[in-house]
Structure 1
Amino acid sequence: MNTPRLPPQPGHRPEIDGLRAVAVLLVASYHVWFGRVSGGVDVFLLLTGFLVTGSLVRAAERGGFRYGAFLGRLAVRLVPTAALVIAVSLLGARLLLPEVRWRGTVAEAVAAAFHHMNWHLALGSVDYLARDDTTSVFQHFWSLSIQGQFYLVWPVVIGVAAWWATLRGRSARRTLLAVLGAVFALSLAYSVLMTRADQPWAYFDTGARLWEFALGGLLALLLPHLNPPRALRILLGWLGLAALVLCGVLLQVSTVFPGHAALWPTLAAAAVIVAGATGSPWGADRWLTLRPVLYLGSLSYALYLWHWPILVLHLETTGRNLAGPLDGFLVLALSVALAAVTTPLADRIVAFGRAGARWRPPVVAAACLVPVLLATGAWTARMDADQRRLEELLADPARYPGAVALPHDDPGAYPDPVHPPPASAALDLPVTYDDGCNQSTSGTEALTCAYGPPDPDRTVALVGGSHAAHWFPALAEIAQRRDWRLVNITKGACLFTDAPQLYKGEPYTACAEWNANVMDELRSLRPDAVFTTGTTTSRDTGAGFGQEVLVDGYVDRWRELEDLGIDVVAVRDTPRLPFDAPECLAESDPEGCAVSPADSLAEESPLEGAELPANVTPLDLTDLLCEPDLCGPVVGNVLVYWDSSHITATYMRTLAPELERRLPDSTG
């Protein structure tokens, strides 16, 4: 899969090639038929540490190695196949994926090409606004990215340790055992802690995976001293192989790795390596070294790269979540066929790259990436040009009236394309996100960003979760006209309340800390008014579609503000759609993507009739988003939602004049 296939050398162990074959078959089959993770990738991380450490140590003992030459050889071996898969996947995405996913696909291709896909996914895993219902054709590059980062660091670790040992007159291998043991222990401890604290982040965190490479390195150093009896080696081989096959069956790898649970597949693979070549007809190595298995192992890198985009594009085309027995077999067969074609082609490029001057390997590897970079650049430029043309049309209010077109909007009355384009709708956010003014779900600091004059007529604070944050563009328009100072204090998925909250079903302690810090900030700031959400349909509060509630703790929080002399404008939550609006528009017309307000909102606003403090003014602005009996994704030729519940910045600006008229006199 994603370990470089080194040429046969003295002491070459063919059972490792067989182990590669087993691991890549587990990875691919679990993806195709079960939608699960097998633990096979962890085997490749261990093998990478084992092979690279052994190679570097031997080179160091022979007199040293050149860092640049080492990286150049790896690059020319790994990059050509990866670049070809990226290029073909880009073409497939352009032809088969909905337009709404194009821009994200281009960003992911660049992340894959430059070995930071794991961090791209990690940031997405903790980004409250990131879509989590789509799968990238480049998602599997996360493990290659971690390995790429490992290749940058590991020669330095080995080289420095060997130099230190020589300087002190000590054994290089003993010194390396101590260094790698420390890396293993520290990284594993960090991995366990991070997996408990934030498993989605830890899954892609290089630091939380480094111990798997270190374990492979320790195995490479200790293996010459391990010589168990033949009977025990036969047992170790079968136990390791069985444990590896059963890992994905017995563990939910995608939700418990890479903490201590990842010791299961890595130690299983280590057992197979320690077992080695038993020479017994009953040994696991006899089966691992069969010619077909060895051939599949030689294709493992390319097979790993090909199977994922083929599977994702197949499922996208068929509208299925999992492949069936027959089409899954065809996906694997096509993946193997492509791997069989591209592997010898890549080998020829490798041979050409390694022949001649030292500069040739990195130059050849870089040349393979040029078509990918040109394709991503051209595609991005085309999308940007299309967006600029639409923005020029947006200046005409007759073409893009937005909220002004309510209450009787006719979607068929506009000949121009919808703005923002569904493909880039997720970029149409308040400027506060680009300014870094919206706290992440894990942060607790009350980030504050002030917009407007330093000596304003009035100061208004926008406080709450993302359903408060998306009102910023409308309030900013009003603030500019009224000479306000608008202060943004928001945090993803965190309501402005003193009651305990949940996030994805788990206690949201970071939200409670943030709320306490917000109150300290408001006591210091003393704004004239706070604009916040007054109800919610978030499932994390126990509510859901049709179960809109006035959140526990809202009123208590507003009374605290009353004691501080701060007015509150409590706006009713915006309606939610049961689907992603841009993706629905990619497959249907606006009428086909419209729902009833009652699907997400209560028949009557929970703010009506509630005993509210005197400083609170409730606002129900649903009629600025929906017709009386219908909420559509497009109003006045402007896209209302950029996902299933968040309002685009463009649409918010179109309703600013009406919001301004409805604001209470207390806001100035």
Structure 2
Amino acid sequence: MHSSTPKAPFTRTTSVPSVPDGVRARGGGGGFRPEIEGLRAVAVLLVAVYHIWLGRVSGGVDVFLMLTGFLITGSLVRSVEREGRVRFVAFWTRLVRRLVPAVAVVLTATMAAVYLLLPRSRWGDILEEVRAAALYHENWALAHAAVDYLAREAAPSPVQHFWSLSIQGQFYLLWPLLVALAALVATRARLPFRATVLVLVTAVFALSLSYSVSITARDQAWAYFDTGARLWELALGALLALVVHRVHLPVRLRVFLGWFGLAALVSCGALLSVSTLFPGYVALWPTTAAVLVVLAGTTGSAHGADRLLTWKPLTELGRLSYPLYLWHWPVLVCYLEVTGRSLATPLGGLGILGASLVLAWLTHRFVEGGLDRFTRPPVRRTPAWSLGIAAALIVPVLAASLLWTDRIDRDRAERALELAAPESYPGAGVVADPSTVLADVPVRPDPADARQDLSWHHEEGCHVTLTSSELVVCDTGPADAERTLALVGASRVAHWYPAVRAAADARGWRLVSFSKSGCQFSTDTSHRDGVVFDECEVWKARAMAELEELRPDAVLTSSTRATLDGERVHDGYLGMWEWLDGLGVEVIGLRDLPRLTYQGAECVESGPVDQCVSPVSASQEEVDPATLVTLPPNVTLMDLTDQVCPDGYCEAVVGNILVFWDHSHITATYAGTLAPAMEKALVEATGW
């Protein structure tokens, strides 16, 4: 296929993610390809529009990954053909000089915005992500958060969009090594260099795509951020770079391919649930669409898609795609935080997009372009100088985030000492004695500390995460105790642990506890994200084996499950209780607490506190559903809802203590104040 665009020298361009060596053409020599700049513009507009107004993912980032593989592979291959080797130092330092300055500026501005606009309860997690973004492993940080049940409902961080840049950064480290290996093999075996690269890239593509399909089916939340599951998208671009110059298509067909590819790309986010289906084979939709546009090239036809893609305003926007991508997300997150909205209004969205464009232009003009002019003299464009510039910009970001985190940790330790005065923080004690006079003291745990306010049970690893199937058993109290109580279930059982532990210690009982995120203690087959939750099934089997061997006197577990869609008793709960009855084990069914219509810590921090109230009826039925079913003879029911949500309402603060740290889990501090009520209820339920 021939292009009517004349050859031109390299032009510095960046993409989302950025590409350092310019938009090169298909052949060995290369040339400027304005339609790729236009394709970048379309992709970044899709990303921004879907994020800002629709709260969805568009597939635009997948296009950028494909283009990165296309452009970087072409650059590396031409470099080897020209010089006989990969110039690693020059390649990596050129990338560092061009990518890091914009990243440093955006991260610095984002930290300032976080300090001014976002609640303190989110600072610690965001600072961790800032460091991950600066060091190009944000995708792995998000992968772990995506499978952490206790973190899944957290508000999005203003730097989470760095996941795609992190994958690119890892690609930039790997790909020169792959091309260099191909060069070595080709030289030693006397094989054609491009053919050798093609074989290796095809192998990477096939292995990565196979892995992506497999891991997406098993754990889509993890796969979305997994470099291995995304590498095939970059390899697809690499394959295109290696074969595109051999593809010669009629102009009419190229015109069709251009428009078809563009239409497929634009429609992807509207027709597919990208965030829940990608990467896997479904991501072939946007990446193949972009491949078709590249294959169409510059047709020279008045009816070609390239007429649109080479339109100057669009190509200029394409040149801003990298900084625009960097800026749009933190601007959006700050807007949503300030306005309290989940999506931007039409006018507000225009403001977000306009502000992001202005910031992108300023970054391009004074950070990217400005530093390039500053480093233009040859003596200053050495690798050492490039690394020096990058270090001078990124090290302060890392240092500031570390110092800030240290300050947060020290403040948290100081606040923890205040809880040593129980008369100031009675918590659930005021429910038992409403005449209690409360001291005028700050709420504890402080909202900023709430996510870390977890019990010993969690700290010792007895509560395992979504991805773990390991059974970790905590065993406290006398080994020869007269009574043994087992606390078993999901996270909304585990959050009672401080109260149960205190009651067991007071009575001299042995307490055995083990729990798992998102895993109901039920004979029903567990599902997550539409597929069988294998880790839960394995964990339940191990838990049942442990109980069969232990034969405790009683098991304390959930009797109902309350959601904003209602409260019910799962059939699998009854099945598990019947199984325990066969073992001669009593069951204490503890009613599930209501779910809130607000996020506990964040609501308190944003204030006023008296607005942080949710009716019990929002998720609990008027009558406990467990009292309306036929229970096995070994089951006794307990309900401590009124100790957490007195008078039919769940308030964020009771007795100067923060009750809920999110919308469904109570803080360990408040759970500790429930000890007297828990002990009384357990004694009444068991008769011990």
Give me the TM-score of the superposition, normalised by structure 1. 0.91
Q: Is the CA contact (8 Å cut-off) linking 2:643 and 2:674 kept in structure 1?
A: yes
How many residue pairs were aligned? Answer: 662
Equivalent residue in structure 1 for 2:641, among 608, 618, 622: 622
- Superposition CA RMSD, Å: 2.8
How do 1:112-511 residues align onto structure 2 when only pairs under 5 Å count?
112-132=133-153, 134-344=155-365, 345-350=367-372, 352=374, 355-409=380-434, 413-451=438-476, 459-480=484-505, 484-503=509-528, 508=533, 510-511=535-536
Equivalent residue in structure 2 for 1:4, among 15, 19, 42: 19
Alpha carbons of structure 1 residues 499 and 256: separation in structure 2 relative to 1, 3 Å:
closer
Alpha carbons of structure 1 residues 357 and 565: separation in structure 2 relative to 1, 3 Å:
same
Corresponding letter in the other structure for 2:265: L
Q: Does 2:603 correspond to 1:584?
A: yes
Q: Deviation of residue 457 (structure 1)?
A: 6.0
Match of 1:24 in 2: 44
**Secondary structure at 1:144's aligned position in 2?**
helix
Q: Deviation of residue 295 (structure 1)?
A: 1.9
Deviations 1:209-264 (A, max 9, x none): 11110001111111222222333333333332332223223333223222222212
- Measure, in 2, the Cα distance between the counterparts of 1:247 and 1:667: 62
Q: Is the CA contact (8 Å cut-off) linking 2:63 and 2:286 kept in structure 1?
A: yes
Alpha carbons of structure 1 residues 628 and 29: separation in structure 2 relative to 1, 3 Å:
closer
Q: Does 2:566 correspond to 1:535?
A: no
**Secondary structure at 1:127's aligned position in 2?**
coil
Corresponding letter in the other structure for 2:427: G
Alpha carbons of structure 1 residues 389 and 55: separation in structure 2 relative to 1, 3 Å:
same
Alpha carbons of structure 1 residues 226 and 452: separation in structure 2 relative to 1, 3 Å:
farther
- Measure, in 2, the Cα distance between the counterparts of 1:135 and 1:535: 30
- Measure, in 2, the Cα distance between the counterparts of 1:175 and 1:424: 55
- Measure, in 1, the Cα distance between the counterparts of 2:579 and 2:286: 54
**Secondary structure at 1:488's aligned position in 2?**
strand
Deviations 1:111-161 (A, max 9, x none): 221222222222222222224362221121111111112112222222223
Q: Deviation of residue 72 (structure 1)?
A: 2.2
Q: Which moved more, 1:613-622 or 1:359-368?
A: 613-622
Equivalent residue in structure 1 for 2:582, among 544, 563, 583: 563
Alpha carbons of structure 1 residues 474 and 642: separation in structure 2 relative to 1, 3 Å:
same
- Measure, in 2, the Cα distance between the counterparts of 1:655 and 1:305: 46
**Secondary structure at 1:399's aligned position in 2?**
coil
- Measure, in 2, the Cα distance between the counterparts of 1:16 and 1:470: 53
Q: Is the CA contact (8 Å cut-off) linking 1:528 and 1:667 kept in structure 2?
A: no
**Secondary structure at 2:255's aligned position in 1?**
helix
Q: Does 2:571 correspond to 1:552?
A: yes
Alpha carbons of structure 1 residues 216 and 398: separation in structure 2 relative to 1, 3 Å:
same
Q: Deviation of residue 487 (structure 1)?
A: 2.9
Q: Is the CA contact (8 Å cut-off) linking 1:110 and 1:373 kept in structure 2?
A: yes
Any gaps of 5 or more consecutive residues in structure 1?
Answer: none
Q: Does 2:673 correspond to 1:654?
A: yes
Corresponding letter in the other structure for 2:561: T
- Measure, in 2, the Cα distance between the counterparts of 1:301 and 1:575: 44
- Measure, in 2, the Cα distance between the counterparts of 1:667 and 1:84: 65
Corresponding letter in the other structure for 1:553: G
Equivalent residue in structure 2 for 1:631, among 650, 654, 664: 650
Any gaps of 5 or more consecutive residues in structure 2?
Answer: 1-15
Q: Which moved more, 1:286-295 or 1:43-52?
A: 286-295
**Secondary structure at 1:92's aligned position in 2?**
helix
- Measure, in 2, the Cα distance between the counterparts of 1:640 and 1:76: 49
Alpha carbons of structure 1 residues 572 and 159: separation in structure 2 relative to 1, 3 Å:
same
Alpha carbons of structure 1 residues 35 and 474: separation in structure 2 relative to 1, 3 Å:
same
- Measure, in 2, the Cα distance between the counterparts of 1:273 and 1:497: 53
Alpha carbons of structure 1 residues 631 and 333: separation in structure 2 relative to 1, 3 Å:
closer
- Measure, in 2, the Cα distance between the counterparts of 1:322 and 1:599: 23
Q: Deviation of residue 394 (structure 1)?
A: 0.6
Q: Deviation of residue 591 (structure 1)?
A: 3.2
**Kindly, what percent of the aligned residue pairs are identical?**
49
Give me the TM-score of the superposition, normalised by structure 2. 0.89
- Measure, in 1, the Cα distance between the counterparts of 2:352 and 2:657: 40
